[in-house]
Amino acid sequence: MVPHIHPDVEEVRANPTSGEHMTLVLVVDEEKSLEIVNRISETTGVELTRELDEGVLILNSLEEQVETVVALPGVRSVSPDGEAEILQ
**Any idea what the CATH number is for the domain that residue 33 is in?**
3.30.70.920
pLDDT for residue 87: 47
pLDDT tens-digit series, residues 32-83: 999 999 999 999 999 999 998 789 999 999 999 999 999 999 999 999 987 5
Number of domains within the chain: 1
Residue 46 counted as domain residue:
yes
Domain of residue 52: give its range: 4-80
Residue with more model confidence, 88 or 18: 18
46 contact partners, CB below 8 Å, separation of at least 6: 40, 59, 60, 61, 62, 65, 68, 69
Global pTM reads 0.87
Would the pLDDT of 1 be above 60? yes
Q: Is the pLDDT of residue 88 over 80?
A: no
85 found inside a domain? no
Measured in degrees and rounded to the nearest 5, phi and psi for residue 77 equal -155, 150
Query: What is the model's pLDDT at position 81?
Result: 85
Q: Which of 70, 68, 86 is nearest to 5 (CA)?
A: 70
Residue 88 in any domain: the answer is: no
Give residues with Cβ within 8 angstroms of 12, minimum separation 6: 22, 63, 66
